[in-house]
Structure 1
């Protein structure tokens, strides 16, 4: 299905798109010139002014627009000139200026078309003078306020009120005194000859009136009825974070941010409010209203991040917002009163260190003794003979002895007695990253702009030829005021990333094979033999040193052009925009076969093979948005309505080629391969969405709030008859604090709001682009026919004709409260039902010869809650204001399967069943370790355990016979008859939390933030990082196991008796892979996510050279953690394609930086 409504707009014609962009930009430029020209040449004959208590600056601006004259003056002359009232009809320019400037001590001159405003020549009696100003600061009830910050505007002079609210400051007559205090509105007073200035500060309700970005618009925070959380971009500033996602981790209740490993450039993934669908599902991420990869934007560009969590808040975004929306708003330019641009530069250099690695035993004698115990336990003989044991003991005492010797019984074989820590060989102690940010912003009455660029370099952790990631971001935002009622804007961004890495002989080295092999390399081996050749274990280091390189380059230009119009005193607005983005990824890699030797007289062996490959993919994305909104007050009634249209089209094309056998290992291009069977692939797809949406807001007397949303949404991923669906939602709120009966509590409770919402959204991310079509698959077959490999086409897949939308229904109830103007709390309870999930349908007869088609055959329910707290205050410390804030959030969610086609509830094999909590671990209860053979034989029979092998003998694990049938098994593998298995844990992260604080005092600033998980289970499975030589005889030996395995002399050991290959999945020796309670760990943790300390210099010498602010800081990332996991496991790195923990290591960051503003 394609949604083409305009042949020029959405046609896949790059030249046409280039023309469109050029026309748009030329149009903006010509409009800009036209308006400037009109401004300079259209002179009004009459000046008409009707102003009451209007600032002088605004009146002069109106005179400028009506007259067409150019004005020249120093901004400070009018900045503090106060207000003026004037009523002039059909007057001259001279009359207007005489009235406005007569009492300000200012004069003007007119030369040609230019007016210059200056000060009157000062007499001795009117020269500025400095004197001591005293006074008292109170609240609006007359109570003194201690610790109020009192400063002279535009200078570094400041003081604070004492315990009784009194202050003293030296100021000149024309200067302005600024009074600020947490929880109160800022107040500015011109000295104007006064010697005593007393002020009363008003309580600040602005936080309630803060504007929050929502779908296709914004609302006052106090009027929100949906579940929305927001955080300022300041939480991302001056931190050594690789991307925005890492900076948001733990900052917002309900938002779970994870990263699979610590690889440079690794993207973060997001989840809002727990498990979404068995088909997966993630939130929609929009940057300035455009679908964008959040990992590719500059963290320093972010002004705010908002999370829309329920259907009511996300409804207008349609089918891709079923599981929430993350809205990122980037910084914009603003009008500068002095006409100067604001320039900001920041730089930080960070040193990174790996958080956690397994602790390896490297002493040769200990390692050989341990491996002999493990090997003989199964095979009945030692792995190493007596001569080897003796030499290992000698070398342990004298490390200067050779680590590699020729086998005394076989002169063609090397024997190894090294002490190699392969992790130390693979990884270097630290690596360095750096970030540079530069931004320029400013504007005038007509135009505002924001331009930024950043460069980020992340170096990898490998000791040899490390990987590195480079990112360049550029952004330019321009807003041009064409008329009083129309703005045109453009938002252009460019992102380029380059990831250069050592390639291994595996097709994809990041798959985890490297970490798997290094983890199971033998510490007795060494990287190189005495003749310099690589050993078998050393080949993996060899691949890093010279086994080939890979390089992935991504280029992504994007441009959004739009307009906003407003009529009738800004009550009716029309907005529209068009976005085009092109993404190109290009990868080139080559692999080299690496020679190694196993003995002095052995033929050279080769690890891997040589080949070269390349792939390129192109992704083009276009989006059109057009919407209008109208708002109006009718007495106590407030209405705001919006109707809009959205359309998006995405096209993707992919091409790859690969061939074996490089002519030269120094040139890794396809042209120099000689393989007889090159591989060439190509594919493509496209998808489109289209929808109309609406939102109606109503409030009565700012107390009773109602919002109704809806979207009629269409997706190309469904059959023709099911393209479209309508998804409504509604939310309501009651501001209890505005009721008359609440008046007596308003001094304590500033705001109390109850709210609730219910709604539905469709989800088109649960199936592929063409799952509704019966498709044929093809591939080359292995047999050669007629001198070539023929292509085989396989039978078409079955498709259900009833395939339709997966729908998500959400409920939310919440409360918002503000106490004493300082403490803000938000609590939400929610329920999300995902219905009609697309999965396997009912079992069909085997005679059909095909698998059952996918159907809308499953439901699940997620329930949870979240709490968010913030507190800000200040007090006097050593006579200076100490301003501080604390914040905390915690949230929890659980998911249960409520419908699934598994009537017998089979769980063995990993299938879902009704009543299952997603993430449940089914396993056995471990009673301990059998101490004697007699006790073991008297216990229930453990040899019947399905899929595993367990024995009844001393040193083996003993499991509980929960159903008392005299044997240990899983019954028939159903929940109704699960034998001795039961739920022993759950892998879902629960009680996710974050908390921290910040303060500023005497130019110092400090912030600290913790993040973690309160409850989560971890079963290591067959991970070699955990079981060590239980897994295989050549594995590394880890310190946590040595001396902690059962023997008759060590009956209280944590691990069972040694037996080689016990934890692996090869053959039948997999008894230690049985999920059971003894080795199921808590994965709960707390981590010091960030700590920042800074100092801002505020010296006159910096002001003289144009530096408004200079700040030096230290910032640390992931500095510390506490958990109960086995040594070597990072709580955020428990995945791994080759076993838990076998991932690119996570790292701590220690950075020093500078931030300068001009």
Structure 2
């Protein structure tokens, strides 16, 4: 729990604990990836399977239109977990309800994840641990595209359906046998079986008055797409020393360095994998390989191989953090602690695009270089005083403390330079550019937070439990008269199994506890200084064509903004049977966030780009969580099974702004497909409703409005039938509706662990249900997008008079009916179940290893081997894109898929 510890049996809040054994199965490139499926109510969605990519973590839904990520606390210090090495973690504790998280006040509205790293122990002999995992990974599935002959067949049919063309030369193209030859499998050209390696080394020990821990970690994750790679290096050291009686000094120091090479995969409909799918396969990779001339694609997509070779996108990051603390125990029941922490991080991103002759779409004209840099640092000073005393049947604990935090961010974009005469990697610097037209730009930001907090907990007779928290936070993100927020909570529990009357009634129940909690939390995750208007420089063209630098207002202020407040009520039950062989935990929660800081887009005529934030909206999240564990041992066989399931119902109950009730949250090819709207879930799809496919011309003719006119006058048999939802007699943008949620309403996981005579097996399945995915690959895949593109093989199931389809329309290039208009035909069930890992291991007997080696274990892991889903895209895990889209998942623009992996590893301790 926050700023302290407590026995699980006496907890009155909703808390999940995850041990290091569960976190370190397979290879996880981040702590967030390792957390998936380990705690009920915690949803982890990968933004991408690309090496170095992050995850989206939501605890009990989304409570705000703004940032919904939880607060992370590492060894008592608020920070981030992206640079952490999962192998360094001893345990993770997830605080889900307001009573547990209220001690963190303004930071706890989205839940809190507390990370405790591994440490040595007093009087522990020095132990050395070495663990290495090596393996290969590959794509688990890829959509298939038409070969050249199939593509020509489909396009000839489309031209016939359209009654065109009249030019014989077009027919000559399709009738030429050379154009029906499949020359390239683009996926084979850009995908690979990739090598992955993860190695960790640690030393721990301690004496009578001190202990220490030192670790090194190295991850080399080569992506399944050629040229993608993520390397991470970790160093961590901590120690504790009793420098005087009851006075302890300690420190934690960590360094993480990352190096990422990425490809243009996601965020653009013409990304690398989309290009591999939709480029015609009669186009060769090379037109003239000796002279480095690529086979030119016919559509807007670049040659995928040219894109890989020409675009060099690299990112490097360094994170350094640490803290020192003093802890003093006095008067038997008091403990005082002061803790000073500092962390800094820096990133450098460099993108160089070479000229690729014949590569298409922007690769042939000019080479270019773009670089940007950023750095941030945080300082934190915590002071706490704890009191803990038992007397008779009473146990009282109290905490008081204060915290001061400040941070600064600086960023620089050096702009884009062009026309490098030499593209050699050693010369890709700005001084070698031929032209540098873009102005560099920079930004800086800082913040400060001051806090006071307290907690009291009381336990009577080991069965009646009570706790109360209060925290006051003052944030520089708000004006002076709105700066402070106050966040209380109360909780209670009753261990009814400790009652005398229950002991006579219970049959097999080891422990039974009812608990309830209520509390309020805050959220200040908005940009700084929104209560100020700002100005910026702009280039202002004049009548004679010259450009001059001018100053203009770029943001309106709102001096009345204040904290978002989340009020949460939780009811739970914990029960164990048969001496804790069977454990069951269940919770119901009701979480409501009020005064949500909303930024409604302004009309362009105001001349100001950024709208002011204002407290207006209200969001509701309700749900159930259920976890069950059964564990047993029989002779030499030991096993355990754990299942978790959680539901969430999310709704924007009030937008709170007069004259506005929605914000568009996501787009595909610059057309909105998702929104946030009053009365609906955050981040739902907003498209037309497709009622199916017109099977006959009579059906088209009979689909009329009240005036007797055809609702879809340009439709013919085989076209898509759209619903006229507003009954105005025509199909248009106002017929769009809430077509489904982008966030799952149910998540589940199943874990199994077993041991027998040195052999061990562990398995984890994760899954979700209740969300839709907008499959953008259907544009050009199932729906034709012009003559210059290939299609997915799904289009072979198109509607024809002799083989009428109910899901795939007839092929047409003119598309007078607008079949490819975004509708429910683009939406697919995003539910999935994935075997995240299956590990088989064997620990060698000491008769083989000898006394110096305390443990030697070899293991084999299958990672992401099986995925069960109806989704036809690259991968059913499709995360968010940023901005308002933080609340809009599932818009698939060609997502880098999760790889399946085959891993072998060895672990030994001595």
- Choose the corresponding residue for 1:478, options 215, 218, 239: 239
- The Cα of 1:389 is off from its aligned counterpart by 3.4
1:855 equivalenced with 2:595 (yes/no) = no
- Partners of 1:631 and 1:943 lie apart in 2 by 80
Match for residue 1155 of structure 1?
907
Match for residue 488 of structure 2?
728
Secondary structure of residue in 2 paired with 1:1119: coil
- Partners of 2:175 and 2:545 lie apart in 1 by 62
- Give runs of aligned pairs for residues 705-1104 of structure 1, distance below 5 A: 705-745=465-505, 748-765=508-525, 767-781=526-540, 789-795=547-553, 797-821=555-579, 822-840=581-599, 853-876=612-635, 881-901=636-656, 912-922=676-686, 925-941=689-705, 951-960=714-723, 967=729, 969=731, 973=734, 983-1020=738-775, 1022-1024=776-778, 1027-1028=781-782, 1030-1042=784-796, 1044-1052=797-805, 1054-1060=807-813, 1062=815, 1070-1076=818-824, 1080-1104=827-851
Question: Which has more radius of gyration?
Answer: 1
1:354-398 CA-to-partner distances (Å, cap 9, x unmatched) read: 122111221x22211112222443462289744433433xx6xxx
1:651 equivalenced with 2:408 (yes/no) = yes
Secondary structure of residue in 2 paired with 1:217: coil
1:462 equivalenced with 2:225 (yes/no) = yes
- Partners of 2:149 and 2:605 lie apart in 1 by 59
Shift in CA distance, 934/1142, structure 1 to aligned 2, threshold 3 Å: same
- Partners of 1:1007 and 1:651 lie apart in 2 by 44
- Partners of 1:438 and 1:483 lie apart in 2 by 32
Match for residue 663 of structure 1?
421
- The Cα of 1:746 is off from its aligned counterpart by 5.2
- The Cα of 1:568 is off from its aligned counterpart by 3.0
Deviates more, 1:827-836 or 1:371-380: 371-380
Shift in CA distance, 1069/291, structure 1 to aligned 2, threshold 3 Å: farther
- The Cα of 1:849 is off from its aligned counterpart by 9.0
- The Cα of 1:301 is off from its aligned counterpart by 1.0
Shift in CA distance, 679/1024, structure 1 to aligned 2, threshold 3 Å: farther
Match for residue 269 of structure 1?
56
- Partners of 1:1046 and 1:665 lie apart in 2 by 50
Secondary structure of residue in 2 paired with 1:1072: coil
Deviates more, 1:289-298 or 1:552-561: 289-298
For the 8 Å contact 1:306–1:326, the answer to whether it is kept is yes
Shift in CA distance, 628/847, structure 1 to aligned 2, threshold 3 Å: closer
- Partners of 1:655 and 1:546 lie apart in 2 by 27
For the 8 Å contact 1:1135–1:1141, the answer to whether it is kept is no
Shift in CA distance, 1061/1016, structure 1 to aligned 2, threshold 3 Å: farther
Match for residue 318 of structure 2?
555
- Partners of 1:326 and 1:597 lie apart in 2 by 46
Deviates more, 1:751-760 or 1:794-803: 794-803
Deviates more, 1:218-227 or 1:508-517: 508-517
- Partners of 2:64 and 2:880 lie apart in 1 by 20
Secondary structure of residue in 1 paired with 2:850: helix
For the 8 Å contact 1:342–1:441, the answer to whether it is kept is yes
- The Cα of 1:286 is off from its aligned counterpart by 1.4
Secondary structure of residue in 2 paired with 1:594: coil
- The Cα of 1:905 is off from its aligned counterpart by 7.9
Give the gaps of 5 or more residues in structure 1.
Answer: 1-213, 396-414, 599-603, 974-978, 1063-1067
Match for residue 572 of structure 1?
334
Match for residue 489 of structure 1?
250
1:304 equivalenced with 2:304 (yes/no) = no
For the 8 Å contact 1:943–1:949, the answer to whether it is kept is no
- The Cα of 1:1133 is off from its aligned counterpart by 3.1
- Partners of 2:524 and 2:230 lie apart in 1 by 33
Give the gaps of 5 or more residues in structure 2.
Answer: 665-673, 883-889
Match for residue 144 of structure 2?
359
For the 8 Å contact 1:440–1:450, the answer to whether it is kept is yes
1:592 equivalenced with 2:354 (yes/no) = yes
- The Cα of 1:668 is off from its aligned counterpart by 0.9
For the 8 Å contact 1:611–1:662, the answer to whether it is kept is yes
Deviates more, 1:631-640 or 1:511-520: 511-520
For the 8 Å contact 1:859–1:898, the answer to whether it is kept is yes
- The Cα of 1:523 is off from its aligned counterpart by 1.6
For the 8 Å contact 2:12–2:516, the answer to whether it is kept is yes
For the 8 Å contact 2:832–2:868, the answer to whether it is kept is yes
Match for residue 369 of structure 1?
153
Secondary structure of residue in 2 paired with 1:245: helix
For the 8 Å contact 1:417–1:525, the answer to whether it is kept is no
1:388 equivalenced with 2:153 (yes/no) = no
* Superposition TM-score, scaled by structure 1 size: 0.72
- Give runs of aligned pairs for residues 64-83 of structure 1, distance below 5 A: none
1:982-1021 CA-to-partner distances (Å, cap 9, x unmatched) read: 544322202100012111001000011110013222343x
Shift in CA distance, 1038/1109, structure 1 to aligned 2, threshold 3 Å: same
- Partners of 1:913 and 1:824 lie apart in 2 by 41
1:909-957 CA-to-partner distances (Å, cap 9, x unmatched) read: 66644422334445555443222223311122599999x9774421112
Shift in CA distance, 700/1081, structure 1 to aligned 2, threshold 3 Å: same
- The Cα of 1:778 is off from its aligned counterpart by 2.5
Secondary structure of residue in 2 paired with 1:219: coil
Match for residue 190 of structure 2?
426
Shift in CA distance, 656/622, structure 1 to aligned 2, threshold 3 Å: same
Shift in CA distance, 437/501, structure 1 to aligned 2, threshold 3 Å: same
More strand by share: 2
- Partners of 1:683 and 1:419 lie apart in 2 by 49
For the 8 Å contact 2:535–2:553, the answer to whether it is kept is yes
Cα RMSD (Å): 3.2
- The Cα of 1:858 is off from its aligned counterpart by 1.0
- Partners of 1:1139 and 1:833 lie apart in 2 by 27
- Partners of 2:445 and 2:708 lie apart in 1 by 50
- Partners of 2:601 and 2:285 lie apart in 1 by 55
Match for residue 1129 of structure 1?
874
Match for residue 21 of structure 2?
234
For the 8 Å contact 1:990–1:1015, the answer to whether it is kept is yes
For the 8 Å contact 2:98–2:567, the answer to whether it is kept is yes
Shift in CA distance, 953/844, structure 1 to aligned 2, threshold 3 Å: closer
- Give runs of aligned pairs for residues 31-70 of structure 1, distance below 5 A: none
- The Cα of 1:874 is off from its aligned counterpart by 1.1
1:827-882 CA-to-partner distances (Å, cap 9, x unmatched) read: 11001111011225799998999987432111111111101111110113xxxx11
1:1142 equivalenced with 2:894 (yes/no) = yes
- The Cα of 1:542 is off from its aligned counterpart by 4.8
For the 8 Å contact 1:1029–1:1060, the answer to whether it is kept is no
1:612 equivalenced with 2:612 (yes/no) = no
Secondary structure of residue in 2 paired with 1:776: strand
